[in-house]
Structure 1
């Protein structure tokens, strides 16, 4: 039976950082709260050359090096990064393919906000399993939605951890290594218009000159949104994790490593407690903040470097995308016959 394996992982982190003390000044939130509650010691921010596609391209090159393959071997490039890209209405996937020399690949762009890495894996897996001509697929992401955060809007403080970076993953059919098992997703459209950028879309078009000063996320009913988050967020995280494991033939006791998004420190600790995991079975991204759909790949790269992720480990990748979609994917790490 065909299997899909992770052949290479890549990340790109800009050289520029903003630190907790500066975030505290911009938000009028005490530094200790930024560090201890928000869980941000520092986070990368884009430099002058760090367009969304550029960061994805650099991550793709890193993934190619990790996989040790020729870019001409790639059959398909899926951009599963942010839709806040170099240009509106534009395919970043084809830009990436061109820049890395993937001359035999076609491409398309998709997004499930910060759940996009797991959705991208599931999309690629489904396409590869049902198409004999697709053997090697590059998932690539760039992210700088931190551009769209206004630190003077307290209702969006849960997004004050947004940073910038790139991530990439190369999937190979019948690799018999780092095997992608099953994924799980849960959506709730009641969030769909509770936190949005109110200008720049077709609901308010054409843009007016003053709209350029309003191009950032806002919450239209803060109390309702907060109640919705408190009621649904954590139960849905647990549900997709357990469902992904169950469909893969495992349960939470089998988790070797949890590649989880960055969110507030108390929520991170709550997940570990709920699943019976130790601190060394995950990585808290306090030196990176939340890099959107890049968090899971970054977490795995750091874990490999630090010896936390080893052959034979069962990895669960988990995240959530604003809107809201919760997503988890289970991977059996290591080489198998």
Structure 2
């Protein structure tokens, strides 16, 4: 039983922050922002761009791309950011109601910036297990940039964070753009290394002074850096190789890599390790990191540029703070397997 991607969609706000503006806020030289951080500009939310709104707009585009009606959707899974319109709130139900997906139920889930691949596996598993779930909409909105303080230098690796939305329509027994395999790896030793220390139940009730502390911090900078250096790239390659293995493919079969945005040197190091060239991926230097939306944005840009063609094997890969590494392999175009 196959599960294929019927349609994809993204939403990018009209407002941007340039490398020069990031430099001014952070004190980091503009050329470092552009070359090392790999950000020429990044989208930031406007007044209307709540987390759910950006997901809804992306979902509209995905539904149009899939050429279906909202009434055909059986399940809406919100796999966007936890930083939503309201605390302790289900964004997916808002999405379903606004779209007119009156036959769908919904739930919210997240594995941070690995959520798109996690959502694909959850949706696929649920469709295989349930006769009455045939069409699933994955929806993500993301604006964790609200939780970044440019004066906190130890979180500079997050200064590329932008805002936007992405969505996928998945259908059971749809023999195009088929999900071949997924793989995941988690490491909870990172779970409290980089957090927003106020606003949760560990610091409740909030005090007036806590408003100024509503941003990410790294608690033990040297230990955090050492663990990232030791574990990040090996775990990226682990999930890539495992998802390929489950798809009965190898690295030589990769045609396009849809990877999250991170520093420029890391992006090209991954391409080198996998034996790929720069035309087999898209570096998101004009968008920065939009969380779990990066892979769908990369695929959309890859299709528009002609980098992705029917018959290509697409590897999607990302990592979510906490940490979860996630990968999925999609056979683009008609599936003949």
> If the length of structure 2 is used for normalisation, what is the TM-score?
0.99
SS at match of 1:10: strand
* Counterpart for residue 170 of structure 2: 171
Aligned to 2:309: 310
1:254: how far off?
0.2
User: Which structure 1 segments of 5+ residues have no match?
Assistant: none
The offset of 1:285, in angstroms, is: 0.1
Q: Determine the structure 2 residue equivalent to 1:67.
A: 66
Alignment partner of 2:183: what SS? Answer: strand
2:36 aligns with 37
Cα displacement string for residues 274-308 of structure 1 (whole angstroms, at most 9, x for unaligned residues) = 00001000000000000000000000000001101
Question: Residue 114 of structure 1 corresponds to which residue in structure 2?
Answer: 113
Counterpart Cα distance in 1 of 2:102 and 2:256:
36
Deviations 1:244-263 (A, max 9, x none): 00111000000010000000
CA distance in 1, matches of 2:94, 2:153: 36
Aligned residues: 336
Distance in 2, Cα, partners of 1:336 & 1:48 = 42
Matches of 2:149 and 2:306, distance apart in 1: 38
In the TM superposition, residue 336 of structure 1 has moved relative to its aligned partner by 2.5
Q: Is the counterpart of residue 161 in structure 1 residue 160 in structure 2?
A: yes
State the secondary structure of the residue aligned to 1:111: coil
Residue deviations 1:104-146 (CA, integer Å, cap 9, x gap): 0000000000000000000000000000000000000000000
Aligned to 1:132, what secondary structure does the other structure show?
Answer: coil
CA distance in 1: counterparts of 2:146 and 2:201, whole angstroms: 20
Deviation string 1:178-223 (CA, Å, 9 cap, x unpaired) is 0001100000011000000000111111111110110000001000
Correspondence 1:96-107 to 2 at 5 A = 96-107=95-106
For residues 60 and 186 of structure 1, what CA distance do their matches in structure 2 show? 28
Match of 2:125 in 1: 126
What pairs up with 1:142-153 in 2 under 5 angstroms? 142-153=141-152
3-state SS, counterpart of residue 235 of structure 1: helix
Q: Distance in 1 between matches of 2:75 and 2:246?
A: 27
Let me know the Cα RMSD of the aligned residues. 0.5
1:260 paired residue number = 259
Residue 75 of structure 2: aligned partner: 76
Match of 2:278 in 1: 279
Aligned to 1:89: 88
Q: Give CA-to-partner distance per residue, 1:37-87, whole Å, 9 cap, x none.
A: 000000000000000000000000000110010100000000000010000
C-alpha distance in 2, partners of 1:244/1:290? 23
User: Does 2:51 match 1:52?
Assistant: yes
Q: Distance in 2 between matches of 1:47 and 1:204?
A: 29
Q: Distance in 2 between matches of 1:159 and 1:321?
A: 12
Q: Secondary structure at the match of 2:262?
A: coil
1:172, CA displacement in angstroms?
Answer: 0.3
Task: Give yes or no for the alignment of 1:336 onto 2:335.
Answer: yes
Name segments (4+ residues, structure 1) moved above 4 Å. Answer: none
Secondary structure at the counterpart of residue 137 of structure 2: strand
Q: TM-score normalised to the size of structure 1? A: 0.99
Secondary structure in 1 matching 2:255 = strand
Output the CA distance in 2 between the equivalents of 1:121 and 1:254.
21
2: CA distance between counterparts of 1:336 and 1:314? 11
Matched residues in 1 for 2:219 and 2:13: separation? 32
Query: Aligned partners of 2:102, 2:222: CA distance in 1, in Å?
Result: 50
Q: Quick one: distance in 1 between partners of 2:271 and 2:49?
A: 34
Deviations 1:214-236 (CA, angstroms, capped at 9, x unpaired): 00000010000010111100110
Offset of 1:335 from its aligned partner? 1.0
Measured in 2, the distance between the counterparts of 1:56 and 1:194 equals 28
